[in-house]
């Protein structure tokens, strides 16, 4: 036991030991997509498809339903069916606007329940459902004859994305650092992973991260734009090369506002950036900055980029998006006055102006602001001379797919990056599901090979959740998303004392996970009370010799007691059996495709993290589990041909005879062969009910300095 004490002191945390571990398998549920969004622009019935998967190991009966008051508004092609393990079924969920007399926006829940066919074990999850009504009447059509918003598969969007891909250089850049940040947001707004936009081996995400030295870390606008790009790309802005960019942005907060007190645009973008990273609407800094913005609204209803400056469309649009993201009602005086200002800035021929000139950037941001406020930019209120801002923006598109700032000018990636989310009915922050990759890389199917897909991972995170995975040598104890509690109560087995501890630490998340996952753990307060608590066991597996339970956050080894390590939204927590020499594994897929045809092959690369350098290196001799088991070659690779039509679960492990050759099992990646992958799945351990609502993906636009 002395060895355990030594390890505890050196790490300030060690936890539990080996005994048998029992994994209780039950009902598994997966869905794709994780959110259904109905944009109502007429009284026509709107249909959305939802795939339901049995990801467990037993046949189960699945039922879909809404709360009673909403059930009459929706219908299902089928809502009660049996699935065997590995099977899936497409369910069409239709919304009928004529049955909704209130005609108001909805943000409600679709319940999916699975009950094992041969027992009473059940599991469930929820799918977030949004119904968005525009404030004005039915949409008019754009110049193309199609209704707003456009779809990612529409030629205008595809051509614009192709243009961006064509102008990417060998470094991964599209137009340089600042324009690349906006481009990352545009790509994500269309449902694609910016990591897949690469020239040779360098993606646009690699480029902005590698060139972050171009940021002025004291300038709120610089930091905000970079954070927005990172969150759009599913990167963690709290740890990029060891730098916490959220902390840097928050450090610019002074006198109840962000950055320069003479400026307003830094407050607009700081609010949106922090919201994109999961900071609560009720956060003091966000609400203070929102008040600062509202207190400096001009009498005409608009805003300038600086305090006391003349109003303009661009900054008024940014202010609207910022206030909406901070929780401002779209019926508040500030928003309604701002909308009236925007309407006053429509030119006689249609479209928004900036400094007297109709241009692509102002129309793109104006459209996004209207959508953020619930207004249809193609409705009659926003048409002049038969044209809406959408028509005007479309008129700036060139034959190569690019957009020009003004008529007669050449196309630019900058204005193209603004136009894409505007046409898609998105705004900053982008209101779409944000699925978190359960490995450190996010891999989505490229739009050159298929239609947009969601992430390969199994679950969808809300903004105030963290992902926790608990790995023993013999198997995974539990994994899933946990809502960060305000506080939680733990009881120490040795003293019998109960403690109320804050919710934003690793121990609190472990405690909440044990309730949800049905596993046990013990925690002690007797060994080193001045340092904090430590966990003796999980699922009965206790500390033994030099081995115990350690934790990592975003794969970095914890360096303090488990209750002292503060976590943040979207962090990934790994609690595992081993010593401080045991290293975590991850797997990567080449090519970056997670939905393939029967008979296709993929190369699976297994890597381990070097804690000295923070780099990931290929691991020879690792076992890769697909259907059969494979062993990686000297480059850490194995190539697998997929011959069955189903969803495959892939993970890797290696446990040698010494700590130097022992590794933490990788998380699972799902590959859909001939079928889509689930965005969410849960293996129900006992009566696990993992309810994960809409995720978040966000994005934004340019800062005044760079227009």
Q: What is the CATH number of the domain that holds 64?
A: 2.60.40.10
Residue 406 dihedral angles phi and psi, to the nearest 5°: -140, 160
Residue 385, number of CB atoms within 10 A of its CB: 11
- pLDDT at position 522 is 94
Q: Check if the beta carbon of residue 285 is closer than 8 Å to that of residue 322.
A: no
Cα torsion 480, 487, 34, 149 to 10°: value is -150
What pLDDT is stored for residue 102 in this prediction?
A: 64
| Cα-Cα-Cα-Cα dihedral sign, residues 588, 593, 597, 601 | negative
User: Running DSSP on this structure, what letter comes out for residue 103?
Assistant: -
Identify whether 114 is part of a domain.
yes
- Mean model confidence pLDDT for the chain: 82
Looking at residue 99, its pLDDT comes to: 82
Tens of pLDDT, residue by residue over 475-486, are: 999 988 888 888
Q: Is 153 or 526 the better-scoring residue by pLDDT?
A: 153
Q: What average pLDDT score do residues 642-647 get?
A: 88
Q: Is residue 521 predicted with pLDDT exceeding 80?
A: yes
Encode 546-583: b = buried (16+ Cβ within 10 Å), e = exposed: ebbbbbbbbbbbbeebbbbbebbbbbbbbbbbbbbebb
**Is the entire prediction scored with pTM above 0.95?**
no
**Residue 468 forms part of a structural domain:** no
> Which contiguous run of DSSP H or E holds residue 247?
helix 245-250
Quote the strand ranges of 33-70, DSSP E. 35-40, 46-54, 60-66
Q: How does pLDDT run across 678-700, given as a tens digit for each residue?
A: 554 433 332 222 222 222 222 23
Q: What's the farthest any 2 CA atoms get from each other in the chain?
A: 83
99 within some domain: yes
Percent of the chain with pLDDT over 70: 84
Position 208 scores a pLDDT of 97
What confidence score (pLDDT) does residue 106 get?
83
Enclosing H/E stretch for 596: strand 595-596
Q: Is residue 107 part of a domain?
A: yes
pLDDT of residue 454: 28
Q: Which residue has the higher pLDDT, 629 or 454?
A: 629
C-alpha 36/C-alpha 287 separation (Å) is: 29
User: Is residue 116, in this structure, part of any structural domain at all?
Assistant: yes
Q: What pLDDT is attached to residue 531?
A: 66
Q: Which residues span the domain enclosing 40?
A: 28-133
Own/partner pairs, 496-505, CB within 8 angstroms, 24+ separation: 497/525, 499/525, 499/533, 501/563, 504/566, 504/567, 504/568, 505/562, 505/563, 505/564, 505/565, 505/566, 505/567
Could you tell me the pLDDT band of residue 134, with boundaries at 50, 70 and 90?
low
Q: What CA–CA distance (Å, rounded) separates 468 from 651?
A: 17
In this model, does residue 463 exceed pLDDT 70?
no
Sign of CA dihedral 525, 531, 536, 538: positive
The answer to whether 519 touches 541, Cβ cutoff 8 Å, is: no
Q: At what angle do helices 220-232 and 265-276 cross, to 10 degrees?
A: 30
How many helices (H) does the chain have, and how many strands (E)?
A: 14, 38
User: Quick one: pLDDT at residue 7?
Assistant: 41
The average pLDDT across 467-474 equals: 94
pLDDT tens string 546-569: 899 999 999 999 888 898 898 988
Q: What is the pLDDT of residue 527?
A: 55
Q: H/E element holding 510?
A: helix 506-517
Q: What's the confidence (pLDDT) of residue 172?
A: 95
The pLDDT of residue 45 is 85
Average pLDDT over residues 186-208: 90
Confidence of residue 91 (pLDDT cuts 50, 70, 90): very high
Contact between residue 326 and residue 276 where contact means Cβ atoms under 8 Å apart? no
3-class DSSP assignment, residue 236: coil
Residue 141 predicted with pLDDT over 50: no
Q: How many CB atoms lie within 10 A of CB 635?
A: 12
Per-residue confidence (pLDDT) for residue 650, from 0 to 100:
93
The pairing of beta strand 122-133 with beta strand 35-40: parallel
Nearest to 105 by CA among 95, 115, 114, 94: 95
Cβ proximity of 320 and 375 under 8 Å: no
Residue 451 has pLDDT above 80, yes or no: no
Instruction: Provide the strand spans (E) within 492-582.
Output: 498-502, 521-524, 534-538, 541-542, 548-553, 556-557, 572-578
CA distance 610 to 101: 60
Nearest CA among 116, 125, 76, 78 for reference residue 96: 76
* Local confidence band at 145 (pLDDT 50, 70, 90 cut-offs): low
The answer to whether position 185 is within a domain reads no
Q: How far is CA 95 from CA 38, 46, 49, 70, in A?
A: 8, 5, 11, 10
Mean pLDDT of 256-260: 96
- Work out how many domains the chain is built from and give that number: 1
Q: Quick check: is 122 in a domain?
A: yes
pLDDT band at 573 (very low <50, low <70, confident <90, very high): very high
Query: Can you give the length of the chain in residues?
Result: 707
Q: Is a pLDDT exceeding 60 seen at residue 10?
A: no
The predicted pLDDT at position 176 comes to: 94
Determine the Cα–Cα distance for residues 297 and 617; give it in Å rounded to an integer: 53
Residue 217 pLDDT greater than 60, yes or no: yes
Q: Quick check: is 120 in a domain?
A: yes
pLDDT at 27: 72
Distances (CA, A) of 531 to 13, 100, 264, 346: 9, 58, 44, 63
The rounded distance, in Å, linking the Cα atoms of 124 and 693 is: 12
DSSP assigned state of 98 = G
Three-state SS letters, 345-368: CECCCCCEEECCEECHHHHHHHHH
User: pLDDT tens, 45-60?
Assistant: 888 888 888 888 789 8
**Range in 41-55, 290-304, 579-593, 638-652 with the lowest mean pLDDT:** 41-55
Alpha helices in 345-470 (DSSP H): 360-372, 389-394, 413-423
Terminal alpha carbon distance of the chain: 64
CA distance 677 to 670: 7
Q: What is the CA radius of gyration of the chain?
A: 26
Phi, psi for residue 31 in degrees, rounded to 5: -135, 155
How many whole angstroms separate alpha carbon 669 and alpha carbon 437? 9
């Amino acid at each position: 036991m002395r060895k355990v004490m030594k390890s505890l002191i050196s790490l300030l945390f060690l936890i539990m030991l080996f005994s048998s571990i029992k994994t209780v398998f039950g009902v598994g549920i997966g869905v794709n997509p994780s959110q259904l969004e109905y944009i109502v622009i007429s009284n026509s019935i709107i249909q959305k498809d939802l795939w339901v998967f049995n990801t467990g190991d037993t046949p189960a009966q699945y039922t879909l339903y809404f709360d009673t008051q909403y059930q009459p508004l929706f219908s299902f092609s089928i809502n009660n069916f049996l699935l065997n393990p590995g099977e899936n079924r497409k369910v069409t969920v239709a919304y009928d606007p004529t049955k909704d007399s209130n005609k108001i926006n909805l943000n409600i829940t679709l319940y999916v329940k699975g009950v094992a066919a041969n027992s009473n074990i059940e599991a469930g999850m929820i799918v977030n459902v949004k119904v968005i009504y525009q404030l004005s009447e039915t949409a008019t059509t754009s110049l193309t004859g199609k209704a707003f918003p456009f779809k990612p598969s529409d030629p205008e969007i595809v051509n614009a994305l192709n243009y961006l891909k064509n102008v990417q250089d060998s470094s991964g850049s599209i137009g340089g650092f600042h324009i690349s940040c906006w481009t990352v947001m545009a790509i994500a707004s269309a449902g694609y992973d910016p990591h897949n936009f690469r020239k040779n081996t360098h993606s646009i995400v690699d480029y902005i991260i590698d060139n972050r030295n171009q940021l002025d870390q004291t300038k709120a606008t610089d930091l905000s734009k970079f954070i927005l790009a990172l969150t759009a790309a599913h990167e963690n802005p709290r740890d990029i090369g060891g730098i916490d960019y959220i902390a840097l942005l928050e450090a610019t907060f002074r006198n109840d506002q962000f950055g320069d007190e003479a400026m307003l645009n830094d407050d607009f973008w700081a609010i949106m950036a922090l919201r994109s990273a999961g900071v609560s609407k009720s956060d003091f800094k966000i609400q203070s900055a929102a008040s600062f913005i509202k207190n400096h609204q001009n009498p005409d209803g608009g805003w300038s980029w600086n305090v006391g400056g003349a109003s303009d469309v661009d900054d008024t649009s940014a202010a609207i998006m910022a206030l909406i993201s901070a929780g401002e009602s779209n019926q508040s005086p500030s928003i309604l006055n701002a909308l009236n200002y925007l309407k006053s800035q429509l030119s006689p021929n249609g479209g928004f102006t900036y400094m007297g000139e109709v241009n692509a950037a102002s129309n793109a941001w104006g459209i996004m602001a209207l959508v953020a406020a619930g207004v249809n930019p193609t409705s009659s209120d926003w048409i002049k001379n038969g044209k809406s801002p959408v028509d005007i923006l479309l008129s700036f598109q060139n034959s190569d797919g690019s957009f020009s700032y003004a008529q007669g000018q050449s196309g630019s990636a900058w204005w193209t990056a603004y136009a894409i989310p505007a046409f898609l009915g998105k705004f900053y922050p982008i209101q779409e599901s944000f699925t978190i990759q359960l490995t450190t890389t996010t891999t989505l199917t490229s739009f050159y090979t298929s239609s947009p897909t969601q992430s390969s991972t199994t679950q969808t995170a809300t903004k105030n959740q963290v992902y926790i995975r608990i790995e023993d040598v013999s198997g995974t104890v539990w994994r899933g998303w946990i809502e960060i509690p305000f506080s939680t109560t733990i009881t120490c087995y040795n003293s019998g004392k109960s403690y109320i501890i804050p919710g934003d630490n690793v121990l609190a998340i472990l405690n909440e996970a044990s309730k949800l996952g049905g596993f046990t753990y013990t925690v002690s307060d007797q060994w080193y009370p001045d340092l904090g608590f430590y966990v003796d066991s999980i699922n009965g597996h206790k500390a033994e010799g030099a081995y115990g339970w350690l934790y990592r956050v975003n794969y970095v080894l914890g360096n303090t007691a488990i209750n002292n390590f503060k976590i943040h939204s979207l962090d990934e927590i790994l609690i595992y059996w081993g010593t401080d020499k045991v290293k975590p594994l991850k797997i990567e897929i080449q090519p970056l495709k997670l939905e393939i045809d029967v008979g296709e092959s993929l190369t699976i690369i297994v890597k381990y993290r070097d804690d000295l350098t923070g780099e990931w290196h290929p691991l020879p001799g690792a076992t890769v589990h697909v259907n059969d088991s494979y062993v990686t070659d000297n480059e850490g690779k194995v190539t697998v041909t997929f011959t069955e039509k189903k969803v495959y679960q892939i993970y890797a492990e290696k446990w040698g005879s010494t700590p130097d050759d022992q590794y933490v099992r990788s998380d699972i990646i799902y590959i859909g062969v001939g079928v889509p992958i689930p965005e969410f799945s849960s293996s129900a351990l006992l009566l696990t009910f993992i309810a994960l609502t809409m995720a978040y993906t966000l994005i934004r636009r340019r800062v005044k300095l760079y227009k």
